[in-house]
Amino acid sequence: MPLFRRGANRVTVNEAHQRTQSADAHAVLLDVREQREWKAGHAPGAVHAPLSRLAAGEALPSAAQARPLVVICRSGHRSQHATELLAAHGVDAVDVQGGMQAWAAAGHPVINEHGNNGSIA
């Protein structure tokens, strides 16, 4: 039986925000989109690790190691794959339903590479 059943390891954007952005946050928001997408807009405090690099065996950034991860992409598809990959390696990870599109639609902040208002590419 897999560690996580499809759907069992998903959270809403509001749950993701609470787990990663609140004063008592203990998890890291891991953005698995590609560089162009990240530069256009991401959540403040998120850590970037493109799915393509994780799939190629690259290690997690140090800020994401040994921490619970809340994994996000543009729409929620790539983050599901990343979460499955990470879970197979023993990482405590959940993915965000609806991704950054839902994050922005819920009114959560999005910044670009310069820290200004960002957009979801």
CA distance linking residue 14 with residue 73, whole number of Å: 15
73 is catalytic: yes
Contacts of 115 (CB under 8 A, 6+ apart): none
| 7 has a pLDDT exceeding 60 | no
According to the model, what pLDDT value does residue 8 have? 61
CA distance linking residue 93 with residue 32, whole number of Å: 13
Q: Give residue 89's identity as a one-letter amino acid code.
A: H
Asked whether the CA dihedral 62, 63, 65, 66 is positive or negative, the reply is positive
| Annotated active-site residue in 71, 73, 87, 104 | 73
Lowest mean pLDDT among 4-8, 12-16, 41-45: 4-8
* Alpha helices, DSSP H, located in the chain: 13-21, 35-40, 51-55, 77-88, 99-105
